[in-house]
Structure 1
């Protein structure tokens, strides 16, 4: 199911205060993650897709997720806590050519294990540069998530790099392409620079986290 909601006209007030997000731990693999309870949402994307910037924008914290000038350098699974029962998971970036093959293979194995075995995982946010969407590894990741019965939100990042017309055209093209996956997939443009798509991101996360049971933050 692909959303037709326009990111250009979004007005939404989040029911969860994402600004309260705190760093919890870094894990080399799934076995070192916190107890598999509550609800987790994972962020994944190619190196330099703007994943760390998106997390920092969501949480209104400039340095919660570290941005690196060396793509693919961080190969740890970073865990952040929203509250006792809700977590954000920052998965290692993928697809950077200079990362050794052994590191790539370890990442793929860890990711597959995480997506298939993590009971608390509710949804996956896949970030892609809007100018280069749906690369092979992106599509593999989406397919793994759909096969694992996960909901997927595709954020087309760096949307400020395109004019409005080109941005809307790309969003529509990606939405059409994702119909082939036959899964619960939503697609929105996103910009950490001008906050485009932030309300849509918050709305999807609120839904996945069961925020209808959470009082709106003061």
Structure 2
């Protein structure tokens, strides 16, 4: 297992040319500008200020990189959707996001965050379809799950899991709440798999014969 509470900010980059060398393992977090992406990263790492949050959607304008050790990195991609910013800036963000997803060889998995009350919008589906086409595994993370009571939350999870089958790829679905700390073990487990965390466990030495 990787201790995500030890994550630290590494750098921010306007495009992939300013990112760290393309080696090791990266998992990217993407989602609409109001999906709670920064809050999810802060909850996962148990750090209130690791990823900058804002009441104004769309403030993540750069590719933000967080180091979790051993050439493993969490990537906070620019949000898409509702950001109230000039069209030229939206297009610039979209270009950097697309370029990263298409050309970053060390990318091992994609977390697509969606408000549980408004899941699987067209842009979310487009992103998942693209990932499936290039054999990139996806975790659809239904954020703000505390907005629903337990029964409604479970039924919505089942509904989206059924929808996910239509992508015909490695697409899993989990619920998450930064407020209630729901879904952290499931998210951490998926990240450990994509980061090949078992590789980091030192082998147990065999008892040597006398």
**Within 5 A, what are the aligned runs for 1:86-101?**
86-101=72-87
Which secondary structure state, in structure 2, belongs to the residue aligned with residue 191 of structure 1?
Answer: coil
Q: 1:160 aligns with which of 131, 146, 160?
A: 146
The yes-or-no answer on 1:214 pairing with 2:200 is yes
Q: Runs of 4 or more off by more than 3 Å in structure 1? A: none
Ranked by relative contact order (alpha carbons within 8 Å, sequence separation 6 or more), the top structure is: 1
> Could you say which residue in structure 2 is the equivalent of 1:5?
none
> Could you say which residue in structure 1 is the equivalent of 2:4?
18
Contact preservation (8 Å) 1:112, 1:144: no
Q: 2:113 aligns with which of 127, 140, 144?
A: 127
> Could you say which residue in structure 1 is the equivalent of 2:206?
none
TM-score by length of 2: 0.92
Which secondary structure state, in structure 2, belongs to the residue aligned with residue 95 of structure 1?
Answer: coil
RMSD: 1.3
Contact preservation (8 Å) 2:137, 2:170: yes
The yes-or-no answer on 1:71 pairing with 2:19 is no
> Could you say which residue in structure 1 is the equivalent of 2:128?
142
**Within 5 A, what are the aligned runs for 1:23-62?**
23-62=9-48
TM-score by length of 1: 0.89
Deviation at 1:97, TM superposition (A): 4.9
Q: How many residues align?
A: 202
Which secondary structure state, in structure 2, belongs to the residue aligned with residue 116 of structure 1?
Answer: helix
User: Structure 2 unaligned runs (5+)?
Assistant: 203-210
Contact preservation (8 Å) 2:44, 2:184: yes
